[in-house]
């Protein structure tokens, strides 16, 4: 059976990448194959996770390339070289330009650690999202997986899962619970859903 060729883009610890690697190994992801991990941070622990799973890695640094255009150009070269069908942003902390996202319509997805449209868009990433939810005093937060378009965190929603906020939560405790109860579940499920559709259409 044909599988969609997947690239995962990361910047940091890579726990979502690990959830995707595990999901491919245990069959939750069966319509896609993780072929490449791209990081915009040479020190990302996510790169170790990829190497441990024998997945090819590429590091693309904006500081080396000078401009957003050159940065995205190098990423596109890797995507072409590896014949990538589908891109997953899994803790990728850099916003991609409209000209990049337009080239891959409904072929890029992102996981965001809140219930979009709350606490999302420019400036909301990582622990800042959880700090904002605690500061606002919401009682429920969660995670969202969505298609990526030209609006940061604005593309069509694929899956969401809610998580309760506890009175004594810190951004760190909340982040861990949202990852464990929501992100690590809905990201692999969404990847399988979209890859299955892509494979069916081909
Ligand atoms: C995750 O919580 C992810 O949802 C978030 O960063 C963390 C990355 O962790 N992404 C964003 O905030 C994007 N706007 P990980 O590297 O362990 O997967």
Q: What is the pLDDT of residues 118-141, one digit of tens each?
A: 999 999 999 999 999 999 999 999
CA–centroid distance, 73 to ligand 1, in Å, is 24
Give the residue, by CA position, lying nearest to ligand 1 atom 12. Answer: 125
What is the strand order of the sheet 108-112 is part of?
Answer: 56-59, 32-39, 4-10, 86-89, 108-112, 140-147, 157-164
Q: Which secondary-structure segment (H or E) carries 24?
A: helix 15-25
Give the residue, by CA position, lying nearest to ligand 1 atom 11. Answer: 125
Predicted confidence at residue 147, as pLDDT, reads 98
Active site residues: 112
β-pair partners for 140: 164
Contact by Cβ (8 Å): 90, 17:
yes
Query: Which residue in the block uniquely carries the two structure tokens 């579940």?
Result: 185
Which of 23, 113, 185 is the best mutation target for the ligand 1 pocket, counting ligand atoms within 8 Å of the beta carbon and taking the most? 113
In the predicted model, residues of the chain with pLDDT beneath 70 are none
Predicted confidence at residue 99, as pLDDT, reads 96
Q: What is the pLDDT of residues 187-200, one digit of tens each?
A: 999 999 999 999 99
* Ligand 1 surroundings by CB, under 6 angstroms: 12-16, 46, 90-91, 111-113, 125-126, 129, 175, 179, 183
Q: Is the whole-model pTM more than 0.85?
A: yes
Instruction: Give residues with Cβ within 8 angstroms of 24, minimum separation 6.
Output: 32, 33, 34
């Amino acid at each position: 059976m044909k599988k969609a060729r997947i690239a995962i883009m990361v910047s940091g610890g890579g726990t979502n990448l690990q959830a995707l690697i595990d999901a491919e190994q245990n069959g939750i992801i069966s319509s896609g194959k993780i072929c490449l991990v791209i990081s915009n941070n040479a020190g990302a622990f996510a790169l170790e996770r990829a190497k441990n799973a024998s997945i090819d890695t590429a590091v693309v640094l904006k500081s080396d390339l000078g401009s957003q255009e050159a940065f995205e150009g190098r990423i596109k070269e890797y995507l072409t070289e590896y014949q990538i069908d589908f891109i997953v942003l899994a803790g990728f902390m850099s916003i991609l330009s409209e000209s990049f996202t337009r080239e891959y319509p409904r072929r890029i997805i992102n996981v965001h650690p809140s219930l979009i449209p709350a606490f999302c868009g420019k400036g909301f990433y990582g622990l800042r999202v959880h700090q904002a939810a605690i500061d606002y005093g919401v009682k429920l937060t969660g995670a969202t997986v969505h298609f990526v378009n030209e609006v940061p965190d604005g593309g069509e929603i694929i899956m969401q899962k809610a998580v309760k906020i506890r009175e004594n939560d810190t951004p760190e405790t909340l982040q861990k619970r949202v990852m464990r109860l929501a992100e690590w579940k809905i990201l692999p499920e969404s990847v399988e859903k979209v890859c299955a559709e892509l494979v069916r259409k081909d």
